[in-house]
Structure 1
Amino acid sequence: MAFNEDDANIYKVHSIILQSHSPYFKKKFEEIGWWGRNFYFLFVDYVNLEKFHNISFKIFDVIIKYIYGGKFSLEELENSIIFDLLISSNELELGKLVEHLQYYHVVNHAWLKSNAAQVYRTSYQVQNFKIIQDSCNDIIAKYPNIIFESENFHSLPEDALISILKRDD
């Protein structure tokens, strides 16, 4: 939970709560010898930049709300932010949230279709994005120009291209 406007980059959270929801945090606390202690962990901006360079404070706010409350609203967030949230949730090993956010993007087919090349490339760089990969494969099978005419076509991973070519549709 962020403190106030002056301390917007500082989070005061319970180490035991983070550990119980995220194998990533559990490993990190074990590394520093804090495992099992129920005290506050201050998460400051320099720690964020050093350890969580891909996670913005806006995204971390959503993750903390999810960890503490089990739910949050995606309606207030842009789809690109939600995709970044998916990547960050995967990095922090929040499996249920990763699955939920993948299904969110599949249901939000229009955004996924308009960003298929970027999303497809990212989904093959991250092992846990099978739902997104399958959905992108379906989109690309119907609209192959999305990927083959993309500026990022040359940067697609080999296994992504093989996956497209193996499809019989």
Structure 2
Amino acid sequence: MPTQFFSKLSQNYIELLKDDEYYDTTIEVGEDPNVKIFRTHMNILCYRSPYLRRALASKKRSNDNGLVHIKLSNISPEIFQIIIEYIYGGILSLEEQDTSDFFKVLAAADVLHLQELFTI
């Protein structure tokens, strides 16, 4: 029987999300004046979200540093922070959120086609 180390793997991917050195994709979320840019990794996004896979496939690499930029103005930075931590670490942290935030997370999950969140 194989030994599984999912908690360490999850922790490592969350650390990768926080690392500013090796990203290749930026995601701008929110609307002025509440906008935040997340530094992310194309491979992870493509395998975790069908929506982001399609968005990335349709983007051409820009000339500045070879980065791909996606804009999601319909998701707030606070809600996207919850979603991106789920995408990277498989952890959905809603303990300190109110009911309206829970519904916003579900709405964002629907946009990004994160079907796994609808089975919890």
Which band: TM-score by shorter chain?
0.5 to 0.7
The answer to whether the aligner puts 1:72 opposite 2:96 as a matched pair is: no
> TM-score scaled to structure 1, two decimals?
0.45
RCO comparison, higher one (Cα < 8 Å, 6+): 2
Question: Which AA in structure 1 matches 2:79?
Answer: I
Q: Is the 8 A contact 2:59 2:68 kept in 1?
A: no
Q: Which residue among 45, 49, 55 is the counterpart of 1:28?
A: 55
Q: Decide whether aligned partners of structure 1 residues 41 and 2 sit closer, same or farther in structure 2, where only a CA change above 3 A counts.
A: farther
Question: Which AA in structure 2 matches 1:92?
Answer: L
Greater strand share, 1 or 2? 2
Q: Which residue among 27, 31, 39 is the counterpart of 1:12?
A: 39
Aligned partners of 2:83, 2:67: CA distance in 1, in Å? Answer: 17
Aligned counterpart, 2:72: 48
Q: Is the 8 A contact 1:10 1:42 kept in 2?
A: no
Q: Name structure 1 gaps, 5 residues minimum.
A: 101-169
Aligned counterpart, 2:117: 97
| Structure having the higher Rg | 1
Cα RMSD after superposing both structures: 2.6
Structure 1 segments, 4+ long, off by >2 Å, are 39-43
How many positions carry a matched residue from both structures? 86
Question: Offset at 1:72?
Answer: 2.9
Q: Is the 8 A contact 2:60 2:68 kept in 1?
A: no
Aligned partners of 1:26, 1:66: CA distance in 2, in Å? Answer: 16
Aligned counterpart, 1:165: none
Aligned partners of 1:2, 1:41: CA distance in 2, in Å? Answer: 18
Greater helix share, 1 or 2? 1
Question: Which AA in structure 1 matches 2:82?
Answer: V
